[in-house]
Amino acid sequence: MTLVKFIYKWFVNYWPVRFQAIVFLTVFVFIQQALGYFINDDASSYQAIATLLLKIVYAVTGGVLSFSVVSLLLPYFSNLFQAIKKPIHPELRPVSGNRTAFSIPKFLLPFLGSISVRLMPSEKSSSVLTVFQSEALIPFFMRGVLHWKQELVDLYRIQAIIIYHSDFLSLFRLPLKIDLQANLARWPQVDELEPRFVPVAVAKSEKFRIDELKKIEGEYLSYKTFEEGDDIRRIVWTIYARNRELVIRQPEIMNPYASHINFVPLFYSENLITAPQGVIRYYLSEYKQQVWKIYLELCAEGSEVRFQSSLTLDSHYGTDQKNIRDQITGAEWQSLNQTTILLPRKFPSVVVIPAIAPDEVVNALLIHPEITLVYIPMDFFALRKRPVLEKLFMNDNQSIRTIMDIWHVQPSYHQIQLRERQRLSMFKAYPQVKVLGNEVGNG
Amino acid sequence: MKWVTDRKWRLYALRLILLVLPLTVLLYTVINGILLLGGMDQQFTKINAIFLFITLALSSLVYSFRFRFSSTTGLLFLLLYVIVQSADLFSFGEFDGFYISSKLLIGSWLIAWCWLLGFGILRSLVILTVQLALLLAIHIYSLAQLPFVDASSLLLSATPNIIVSFWLIYASSYLNKVEQGNESGKQLLTKIVLFLLLILAILGVVINWFSADIKGVEKEWAQDKGTGKGNSGGGRKDGESMTKKNRDGGIENKDQTKLTGSLQRDKQLVFVAKLDNYFEEGVPNPLYFTSHYYTLFDEQTQTFEPDPKMPANDLFKPDPSQTPLYKAITDNSVIKKSGGVLNRKIVNAEIYKVAMAASSFVAPSTAFYCQPVSVPPNTNFKSAYKAKMWVSELNSAYFIYNPANNPELKAFQEQRFDLLRSVDKITMTSEKEMAYFTAMPKSPDYDVIGRLSDSITQGLDKPIDKIIAIRNYFTSKDKYGQPLFKYSDNPGVPGLPSATKLKYFLFENRKGYCAYFAGATLFMLRSLGIPSRIAVGYLAVDRSSKNPGWYWFYPDQAHAWVQAYFPGYGWLDFDTTVPDQNTQQAEQPDGTPPEEISQIYLVAHGRIVTIDTLSKTVSFKTNQLVYHEKEYKAKDSVTLQLNLTQARILLDTGTLAFNKLKPGMSGTAVSRDISLKDTKPISDELTGVIDVLKQPVPIDELKLLVEQAKEKESKNKGTSQTARNWWKIIWIIAISFCSLIVLLLMMPIFYSAYLEQRARTNEVASVYKRYLFRLHMFNIRPNNESIMQFAKSVDGQFNTHFREISQAYANNLFNSSVEQEKQESQFTYKVFNNSLLKSFKFKHRLRARMDFIRWITFIKQLKK
């Protein structure tokens, strides 16, 4: 099976002859045979002229083909030679939106032809093919913009790129593999913000900063063992020196958390989910999108939003937006047995829970009425179900929709829907739970 | 042009112009070609073409968006089907109904086709390629069938379609890439122009390459028209013919005969022959005329072929077109090789060719002598030759004809059989020969033929009896009293792919033409151990009561029969083909035989030296003369003045005008002038004859040798070509010199474009270099100044913002900080350039563009 997979991958990545070329040749041979059948050898002038015309067509075709091949081979071998002589360093740089600037120094383009680039991510199985047109006819320096067509919000670690040289009739593509370390990301995108999830506890608070509080001389009544996310500066090193125990001081302030909000997106998922991998990945992508949106909305409120994450071991209360975006973008589903349940210890908090979160997580969170829970239902995305007529007559530019279309008729879908309905009815008893509704539809 | 907003619509507009429009034109021409071929009086009008355009445009519009192919196309086809079907329901009157529904049907087919093409343009290059190839093939087919068009205009209508086809494939794939990429309009235009130039260049080279062939075809057509044949539209023939047409229009027996489904014959006089062969009572005794012997059978192609390596090859094959007039070619070795000594005699024949190829030679077997002779004037005979043959008396056509049920003929033929019954066993001179002429293909299919011949000849000992039995088998009747075998020009092809055609002929179909009968007989004889071969040529029929000894040959007399070897008697003809029962041969008109050619006094072989067009005389170098039937030869050639006012100048293919004569042509001059009748030569030397002759000698006929004439022609061409070549070389040198200068003048422009390209990388160094180059070209260069000093002076002089980039460059040079790079985009080169240009006159500006010496100094400085 692995051999088959290998061969398949090799064909996808390195096979130089396009299907178009095979068709071209087949048609050529077929036409020759067909006309040859009609043109018999009765030596009439009809035969003479038909043969002559055919010959001319052959010669022109041969000329164009050979020119096309030569104009492809010359730059290809020149580039190959360059690459062997001195490693080529193509540059991939994200630009605004989801575009990526791409440039290679000293690179020849096939005459009238084109170059396309396949990015080879390290972990994720899907590779990305983008067509790249150079800006000049015979460039020595290629520069252009890759149109990043990735649908899913994720971080891609590119390990290599394959540069395909393609002739002007698009009959062949010659691959040139170049090693390259680059990270590309499909960031979550937010069009407009509409603050929806005002945390319960902040509602009446005065706004003053914790930094100011820090300076207040207070009595340190209690100590607390150090936990993930605690401020390292508060560690009492004397106690550590004595007991080898990490302990922090807890200041006694009447309303210590009034000025900031904890933002805790959870990425726990059940292992039991029987939905197809594609759907789960798609849900993850959409979930990230929503998490990022909620985060930005909270930020727009004006209060300091601290990001608490179970994603990395060295998690901390982050405030760096870029860092948080990276973390959200690169997030993966976590199963419970990997880590213990992360619960916010400080309030007010906004916790985002995915639809596929295990029951234990949900139950553990529900007992704290101070925590604002944002539940992102799977059914929210089921909105993308397309009407039959559209399905029948329109292609879809998103491959996920095809998977969704199929999934909608599978039993696992109904299973999840059933559970979700149960959960939603349960949530009615808890006012702190907000369910992301249909009115928030945003791709 | 920038692809900013509504890019899709702009692309669609581009597709309409670049793809849909040319495709419509292509379709229009192809459809019109088909209609013309089909002989329809209707034309595919331009309004119809607009409909095609609309369909294509609609289709490409639909598929510009994400519509599904299968469902949309399916729906459209269903709709068209319903419309076509429902048209029958509404009756418009019988004729109108038919007319309208057929129009609707054709229209909907076209719409469906265009729809698919529109889809191909947008989404599937494969579909597009297949359809374009189909269109091109149809176009070539229909073009080639069109009558009365000359080759160059044909090419003119074919080549645009080739260009358009390639263009469509390229542009379609290119535009699809543009959709995803980020090309500007300028690049798009450049690429389009470059591609068109490329295709045109390739086409030009190819047409130049084939120009000789094109002219050849044109010439052929002109000849066809000249002989009144014309290029008959739809003159394609399905079947095999026993003869073939050469390029010069001459008819010749084929080198090979395939066994095919049907046979085609023409009604055109091929040649006329006079045979000096009579029975004792003076009754003409016709003979079969042989052209080739087939001794090999290619199992793969089911083809009989002549074998040049045939042992004891007794085929005499001179080329009369390459032999000077009245020069005799003899090969006596064939007489020995023919193996015949008994009942043999020498027979003379004269053959006058009409449609027969000039180079071919036919005569009764076994010919050994050929002498081209002049043809009488004012006839349609093209050329003629005399032949002598070592003929067996047993090969009289009356002995060979398949008697079928003619008792008289049967009785006559018994004479020959009685004679041949003396041969008990057939042996040849060597075992090898015997094995060669009794070879059979080794396959079970041919074993069946062997078994059949065994059963037919059961109980017979003598070879001749076996042959008779086989011949009688073909003429025998089945149990219903019907002939077992029938003659048919269209025997059909066997349905089973494995069955050989002969097997099919012998056991199932039992219909065929001469090649089938001859082929079957050959294998039956060979399986019995009788050495045999197939002879191909013409069947002689004595139809002329007015002109005894004269025979007329038409293409339907082209024939194949079998020759069997009898020791002592040599190769004897046997014809087993059954007479054609159904189609009674139409009486072929016999023409008048050529007149007796009057006495020839002078024949001179030689070469034309000079030509005097005014008095129509030529000087002719000769070293070989026949005067009063006596041959004179000399080592050194002498010059004769020939008067050609009355002469016919002949080529094998026809006559030649006097002004087409060129020095260096060789040939034979013939004179029948009475004035020569009484002049007798003074000596036996060649000069003796020349001295007597009154020069210029009036000549009646000048026959030129084709190949040599052609060679001379091409040589002449060669000299003029070399002259032309000189001009060509001078032109090429001049053009390349001019282009070199232009190139040198353009160098700064190219270099500046290169710098512009480099500057796009936004590297400060490259950008700075570009500015520096511009300044350098205006002869502004730093004189031991620092970067900033120089910038200051430039800015002061021209009010530019050169300082900013210089600052960035300097910063970059000394502390390569990244942030400087960003600043660069704030000042533009355009502004700088404009303010610089304002300060200079046009003359200086032009110089700044073209001065390549400044460019060189700049490059030099860079290197420093």
Query: Tell me: the pLDDT tens digits for B723-778?
Result: 567 778 888 889 998 998 888 888 888 888 888 887 777 777 788 888 888 888 88
pLDDT at B495: 44
Question: What would the pLDDT profile of A358-372 be if each residue is shown by its tens digit?
Answer: 888 888 888 877 778
For residue A63, the chain B residue with the least C-alpha distance is B202
- Residue type at A346 in one-letter notation: K
Torsion of CA B64, B67, B69, B74, to 10 degrees: -130
For residues B839 and B841, give the distance between their C-alpha atoms in angstroms, rounded to a whole number. Answer: 7
A210: left (phi over 0), alpha (psi -120 to 50) or beta: alpha
* DSSP per-residue codes, B80-109: HHHHHHHHHHS-S-HHHHHHHHHHHHHHHH
Q: How confident is the model at residue A193 (pLDDT cuts 50, 70, 90)?
A: confident
Q: Which of A51, A53, A93, A109 to mutate to test the interface with B (most CBs of B within 10 A)?
A: A53
Mean pLDDT, to the nearest integer, of A321-333?
A: 82
The rounded distance, in Å, linking the Cα atoms of B217 and B732 is: 31
Question: Which residues, including other chains, have CB under 8 Å from residue B325's CB and lie 6 or more apart?
Answer: B372, B373, B374, B603, B605, B667, B668, B670, B701, B703
Contacts of B241 in chain A (CB under 8 A): 42
Number of A to B CB contacts under 8 A, please give it.
180
Among A17-26, A29-38, A98-107, B335-344, the range scoring the smallest mean pLDDT is A98-107
Chain A contact set for B245 (CB, 8 A):
42-44
- Rounded CA-CA distance A368/A365 in Å is 6
Average predicted confidence (pLDDT) for chain B:
78
Identity of the highest mean pLDDT range in B24-33, B214-223, B250-259: B24-33
What pLDDT is stored for residue A215 in this prediction? 45
Classify residue B502 by burial, with Cβ atoms within 10 Å: 0-12, 13-18, 19+: buried
**Chain A residues whose beta carbon lies within 8 Å of the beta carbon of residue B169:** 169
Catalogue the long-range contacts made by B330-337 (C-beta closer than 8 Å, 24 or more residues apart).
B330/B368, B330/B369, B330/B370, B331/B368, B332/B368, B334/B366, B334/B367, B334/B368, B334/B390, B335/B366, B335/B368, B335/B390, B337/B312, B337/B313
**ipTM of the complex, rounded to two decimals:** 0.72
Mean pLDDT, to the nearest integer, of B265-274?
A: 76
Q: Which of B144, B184, B207 sits opposite A46 (nearest CB)?
A: B144
Output b/e per residue, B724-743; b: 16+ Cβ within 10 A: eeeeeeeeeeeeeeeeeeee
Query: Quick count: other Cβ atoms within 10 Å of Cβ A12?
Result: 11
Token pair belonging to B819: 């942030």
Instruction: State residue B838's pLDDT score.
Output: 81
Which whole number is the average pLDDT over A18-36? 83
Torsions phi, psi of A10, nearest 5? -60, -45
Cβ contact A53–B180 (<8 Å): no
Q: Is B384 helix (H, G, I), strand (E, B) or coil?
A: strand
Alpha carbons B812 and B763: distance in angstroms, whole number: 9
φ, ψ dihedrals at B122, nearest 5°: -85, -45
Is B182 touching A (CB cutoff 8 A)? yes
Among candidates A381, A383, A329, A336, which has minimal Cα distance to A355?
Answer: A381
Contacts 24+ apart (CB under 8 A), A360-363: A360/A336, A361/A266, A361/A268, A361/A336, A362/A423
End-to-end CA distance of chain A: 38
- For A79-120, the pLDDT digits (tens) are 888 888 877 777 777 766 666 777 776 677 788 877 778 877
- For position B180, what pLDDT does the model report? 62
**Which residue in A39, A57, A395 is closest to B136 by CB distance?**
A57
Residues 231-250 of A with CB under 8 A from B: none
The mean pLDDT value for B208-229 works out to 65
Query: In Å, how far are A169, A294, A298 from A352, measured between CA atoms?
Result: 52, 9, 12
Is it the case that residue B241 has pLDDT exceeding 60?
Answer: no
Cα(A256)–Cα(A209) distance, integer angstroms: 9
Both structure tokens of A62:
């041969």
How many Å apart are CA B416 and CA B464, to the nearest integer? 10
How far does A117 lie from chain B, in Å, by closest CA? Answer: 12
Burial level of B243, CB count in 10 A (0-12/13-18/19+)? Answer: buried
What's the pLDDT score for residue B236? 32
Model confidence at A319, pLDDT cuts 50, 70, 90, reads: low
Higher pLDDT, B320 or B659: B320
Using pLDDT thresholds of 50, 70 and 90, give the confidence band for residue B407: confident
Residue A314 has pLDDT above 50, yes or no: no
Computed on alpha carbons and rounded to an integer, the radius of gyration of chain B in Å comes to 41
For residue B190, how many C-alpha atoms fall within 13 Å in the half-sphere facing its CB?
12
Question: How far is the C-alpha of A86 from the C-alpha of A80, rounded, in Å?
Answer: 10
Residue B56, φ and ψ in degrees, nearest 5: -60, -45
- CA distances in angstroms from B266 to B242, B557, B580, listed in the order given: 10, 10, 16
Portion 45-74 of A in contact with B at CB < 8 A: 45-50, 52-57, 59-60, 63-64, 67
Percent of chain B scored above 90 by pLDDT? 4
Between residues 370 and 399 of chain A, which touch chain B (CB distance below 8 Å)? 392-397
Does residue B608 register a pLDDT over 80?
yes
Nearest C-alpha in A relative to B263: A42
Q: Which tokens go with B269?
A: 């006089």
| Residues 101 through 160 of chain A touching chain B, CB cutoff 8 Å | 103, 112, 114, 130-133, 135-137, 139-141, 143-145, 147
| Residue corresponding to tokens 């080549």 | B159
Strand pairing of A99-105 and A91-94?
antiparallel
On whether the CB atoms of residues B224 and B151 are closer than 8 A, the answer is no
pLDDT at residue A42, rounded to an integer:
46
Q: Is A95 on the interface with B (CB under 8 A)?
A: no
**pLDDT at residue B74, rounded to an integer:** 93
Q: Which of B72, B144, B221 sits opposite A393 (nearest CB)?
A: B72
- Given a contact cutoff of 8 angstroms between Cβ atoms, the answer to whether B285 and B278 are in contact is yes
Distance of CA B645 to the CA centre of its chain: 39
Residue of higher predicted confidence among A195 and A113 = A113
Q: Tens digits of per-residue pLDDT, B280-332?
A: 777 888 889 998 888 887 776 677 778 878 888 888 888 888 788 888 888 88
Task: Give the residue from B180, B202, B16 showing the smallest Cα distance to A114.
Answer: B180
Interface contact A60-B206, CB threshold 8 A: yes
Question: Chain B closest CA to A28's CA: distance in Å?
Answer: 7
- B129 → closest Cβ in A24, A44, A46: A24
CA distances (Å), A64 to each of A59, B163, B170, B197, in order? 8, 10, 11, 12
Which residues of B are less than 8 Å from A64 in CB distance? 166, 198-199, 202
Spell out which residues of chain A touch residue B194, defining contact as CB-CB under 8 Å. 112, 137
Decide: helix, strand or coil at residue B249.
Answer: coil
pTM (global) more than 0.80: no
Q: Which residues in chain B touch residue A140, judged by CB atoms under 8 angstroms apart? A: 754, 757-758
Distance, in angstroms, between A144 CA and closest chain B CA? 8
Any chain A CB within 8 A of the CB of B190? yes
pLDDT at B272 exceeding the cut of 70:
yes
The answer to whether B279 faces chain A, any CB pair under 8 Å, is no
| Strand (E) or helix (H) holding B553 | strand B550-553
pLDDT digit string, tens, across residues B54-103: 999 999 888 888 788 889 999 999 999 998 888 767 655 556 666 777 77
Cα-based distances in Å from A347 to A252, A291, A305, B466: 15, 19, 12, 121
* In chain A, % of residues over pLDDT 90: 0
> What value does the mean pLDDT take over residues A349-366?
83
> Which pLDDT does position A271 carry in this prediction?
67
The reply to whether B34 touches chain A by the CB within 8 Å rule is no
Q: How do beta strands B486-487 and B511-512 pair?
A: parallel
pLDDT grade for B141, boundaries at 50, 70 and 90: confident
Angle formed at CA B463 by CA B461 and CA B469, multiple of 5 degrees = 85
